[in-house]
Structure 1
């Protein structure tokens, strides 16, 4: 079937929707054999490829950009990533597994998703592809991800120099990552923000807790039972301590990392900082400092008593999501607490992760960029 071209040189949206529905079944690896006509036209128009030699990688890159345009904090954007295998480590998943993952985003069965939300997800992604292609002036061809179109092995990061405290040890840098926390690699400990009842966020929620819970799941429903590793371990921890809830704000509870171990993550520390307040939560920023100190103390304990060679730890902006705390306040207290911990014990590689450039600047990222001539 020939694709109709609009006066602006872009394909008709209906043709692109039809192609994306077919691509959903074959997955991204199918692009290496053939990039369908409408997607090819959009990829070339947007400048994601120069010609046949980089067309497949370019088509994959415009799909990734389109999903990001929909918003990875949005249900449609997240479901689009799952549907087409755009998440790290999911590129080659079978169509049934990708549909199941997308259905979990909405909290529905695969069959219901197929008959309802999937159509909207594909149509919205097609629209985002065309919007990406219409960017004024086009876009330069983007570098191909390493390994035949796979996702990048590391999230973008900026190393921020520490000034250190006068007369105290330590001037090791803090690395700030502008990325979703689940995309990080080779960091021993990831910290999750939880409530004082240790109830993790639903896996389809756009929160740090939900993202880590979703990414740590082991197994596939098509092959057998699925292990909700983080939530299951927290539930077991609570059962072993009757009457422990609610926890004192700032308490830190460790779990394994489940499937995140494939990304080099060894432990997840759950910092209970959010206190229920009606239908929402409240977070006392002083409890951020308590939780940060508790994370370092727990890591030292597991290093000395448990034999775990823990050397790196990553903090999100604790309490700045559903906790309702302003990002600036969270970042300020987090920065103070990390500085204090490193001044007393500098033998750590410390990371901070956020999706928001304005929050990253609170850690000195902007000054670091200028110093490096970026």
Structure 2
């Protein structure tokens, strides 16, 4: 890198170059405000820069501080490390290791052919330009309250339409699920585990997310606040989601092509991550092995989960257990 006139200028130049490597859109804009790189923000108080960055993502300042800001700064740090590594000729982040707040492609074999998965390590509500996101829900199709931290709550919050004062004026995921239940005559009773209800995406459409597939996998445990989730129900729901994607594909312009899965059933107190992933992957791999051309994404919350996705998708876990592609998950 070219030497700058002062240490401060050198740091700013490095930050600007790192930020320029981020995906264009909300992520890069939020980084520019957070670091005071956006035009006219250099002398803003940190609280004002944070508030502006939070507004870019459509979340409260407190939620941005606790989650999104860490992801944004993590992405910048990854690119700084890569730039410095390139300068020094040493390996950088992302070459053989996972770091927080990133995403990358993973090449896997399915049915004797090589396919590509995209793995995201960030909150689910930051997904952009993925046609369909699969969201876990209980068998009563009851969404959690928006202030909670689950995948379904995050998507409900991100899909809501807010007024100029930030108040919710439309709760489309909740409302559309109620309409789905009425249409299919399931209102007031549970659906079978593995059922998938499709809705529009509300405000998430502005991020390029066009459909939400609500996968009913959690069965409430009587007399408690807990749920039971069976791996077989997760696999059944993923298979149904992929079949529904095929049914709906040509009803949209352009046709639906991409789908993103969290680790379904891995909320606290439910399935371990590796069990959830094995259940999801069993259905995804079977579909890809049949020649499906879907653009498949996984979204996880931590680098450790991302590394797990990479290992099982490339066959390491199957090799260790003696399982074969297409074997069912018990």
Aligned equivalent of 1:283, options 229, 232, 235 = 229
- Larger radius of gyration, structure 1 or 2? 1
Alignment CA distance shift 1:159-1:214 (3 Å): same
What is the alpha-carbon distance in structure 1 between the residues aligned to residue 235 and residue 160 of structure 2?
Answer: 29
Structure with the greater relative contact order (CA < 8 A, sep ≥ 6): 1 or 2? 2
Find the counterpart in structure 1 of residue 150 from structure 2.
Answer: 207
What is the alpha-carbon distance in structure 1 between the residues aligned to residue 14 and residue 119 of structure 2?
Answer: 35
Find the counterpart in structure 2 of residue 35 from structure 1.
Answer: none
Find the counterpart in structure 1 of residue 86 from structure 2.
Answer: none
What is the alpha-carbon distance in structure 2 between the residues aligned to residue 160 and residue 181 of structure 1?
Answer: 19
What is the alpha-carbon distance in structure 1 between the residues aligned to residue 127 and residue 48 of structure 2?
Answer: 17
TM-score normalised according to structure 2 size: 0.66
- Give the number of equivalent residue pairs: 257
Alignment CA distance shift 1:171-1:261 (3 Å): same
Determine if the alignment matches structure 1 residue 274 to structure 2 residue 244: no
What is the alpha-carbon distance in structure 2 between the residues aligned to residue 367 and residue 192 of structure 1?
Answer: 21
* Deviation of the 1:303 alpha carbon: 1.6
> Contact 1:256/1:267 (CA < 8 Å) preserved in 2?
yes
Runs ≥4 residues deviating over 6 A: 52-59, 80-83
Task: Give CA-to-partner distance per residue, 1:163-208, whole Å, 9 cap, x none.
Answer: 1224xxx421111111111111111001101000111111111111
DSSP-derived class of the 1:364 partner: helix
* Deviation of the 1:307 alpha carbon: 6.2
Pick the structure with more strand per residue: 2
DSSP-derived class of the 2:256 partner: coil
TM-score normalised according to structure 1 size: 0.59
What is the alpha-carbon distance in structure 2 between the residues aligned to residue 342 and residue 53 of structure 1?
Answer: 41
* Deviation of the 1:335 alpha carbon: 1.6
DSSP-derived class of the 1:320 partner: coil
Alignment CA distance shift 1:299-1:140 (3 Å): closer
DSSP-derived class of the 2:220 partner: strand
Determine if the alignment matches structure 1 residue 60 to structure 2 residue 34: yes
Determine if the alignment matches structure 1 residue 50 to structure 2 residue 7: no
* Deviation of the 1:344 alpha carbon: 1.9
Find the counterpart in structure 1 of residue 243 from structure 2.
Answer: 297
Q: Cα RMSD between the aligned structures?
A: 4.0
Task: Give CA-to-partner distance per residue, 1:64-107, whole Å, 9 cap, x none.
Answer: xxxxxxxxxxxxxxxx99972444734xx8xxxx7xx469x7xx
> Contact 1:58/1:142 (CA < 8 Å) preserved in 2?
no
Alignment CA distance shift 1:163-1:234 (3 Å): same
